[in-house]
Amino acid sequence: MKLISRLAAIAAALMMMGGGAMAASKVTLAIGGASCLCYLPTVLAKQIGAYEKAGVDVNLVDFKGGSQSLTAVLGGSADVVSGYFDHTVELAAKKQHLQAFVIYDQYPGLVLVVAPGQTGKIKSVKDLDGKKVGVSAPGSSTDFFLKYQLVKAGLKKDSAAVIGVGLGATAIAAMEQGQIDAAVMLDPAVTVLQSKYKDLTLLSDTRTQKDTEAVFGGDYPGGAFYTRPEWMKAHPEETQALTNAMVATLKWIHSHSAQEIMEKMPPNLVGPHKDAYLAALKNTIPMYSTTGLMDPKGAEAVLDVFKI
């Protein structure tokens, strides 16, 4: 697989390159839902000064979902996406090329959750036929995951109505208010709902390595930094600085407690449910990579999803 080998080679080369001093360059980084713990390393890097130390001045721009942050980079209003790796694979099939250069999530953390008002009525993915299912945004990784689950269950990709509900508080509100029948969610939103509704039904869960392997048959990488190859070619120092900053942040995460990490995060992202956020964060820490490198087998698993 040329895509996989190229990704692995670039990632390895970036890890080996030095991180010498350089004047801070400005980079606009588009993120597809900053409140999601899947993107915590991107925000935390800003909070602990990792970008600045690496020599890059990062402007984080938050979008409702990964598809919107991706559009920003393709349209030129942002330089780099902090989003799910599977977008690069999906676009490659459309002859649009984006290159991931550092991975921070070892697995996706996606959860297919039944709305509290539908508990006992929706018991399996097959029961989603004709239902309204929330995703962060149409065309996002949450949307990809939903379609994959529907096909695996013997349904058509479009057998459920896809509704964009964002992540975090907006998704929780849509679930509680009955605007949707189910949703593909991520933490801390899932844990917040579980703390309020003890009988909450989870149809599919990829928050642990074991669960991810059960769903995809192996590892499935989640969050990554990726951009247009021509931008990387024109900005090698900035690409290296972002890589250095992320690797330093991942090391910081794995050497600090969940409480210490939470205290560094912006209060508006932690939200009012601090106990649930902390519980979710404790469960999420193993999801974060320790090296920033891609496992080629994980990339192959992503390719397999788009073959359905």
Which residues, in sequence order, are bridge partners of residue 227?
99
Spatial distance between the Cα atoms of 97 and 112, rounded to a whole number of angstroms: 29
pLDDT tens-digit readout, 12-26: 555 545 444 445 799
> Mind spelling out the 3-state secondary structure of 168-224?
CHHHHHHHHCCCCCEEEECCCHHHHHHHHCCCCCEEEECCCHHHHHHHHCCCCCCEE
Over the stretch 216-255, which tens digit does the pLDDT of each residue have? 888 899 999 999 999 999 999 999 999 999 999 999 999 9
How far apart are the C-alpha atoms of 133 and 124, rounded to whole Å? 13
Specify which residues 83 forms β-bridges with.
224
- pLDDT at res. 21: 46
Task: Give the pLDDT of residue 301.
Answer: 85
* pTM to 2 decimal places: 0.86
> What is the model's pLDDT at position 23?
59
Peptide bond into 188 cis (omega under 30): yes
For the chain, list residues with pLDDT below 50: 1, 3-4, 16, 18-22
Alpha-carbon distance of 51 to 115, in angstroms, equals: 39
Q: Minimal CA–CA distance to 308: which of 217, 183, 206?
A: 217
Q: What integer pLDDT is reported at residue 300 of this predicted model?
A: 85
Burial of 45 from C-beta contacts in 10 A (0-12 / 13-18 / 19+): buried
Burial class of 62 by CB neighbour count within 10 A (0 to 12, 13 to 18, 19+): middle
**pLDDT for the residue numbered 67:** 86
Strands 223-227 and 161-164: unpaired
Q: What are the boundaries of each domain within the chain? A: 2-108+219-305, 111-205
Query: Is there a contact between 305 and 86 (Cβ–Cβ < 8 Å)?
Result: yes
- DSSP state string for 254-278: TTS-HHHHHHHS-HHHH-S-HHHHH
| CATH architecture for residues 111-205 | 3-Layer(aba) Sandwich (3.40)
Q: For 2-108+219-305, which CATH superfamily applies? A: Periplasmic binding protein-like II (3.40.190.10)
Q: Are 84 and 141 a contacting pair, CB within 8 Å?
A: yes
Please report the pLDDT score of residue 13 as a whole number.
Answer: 53
Q: State residue 66's pLDDT score.
A: 80
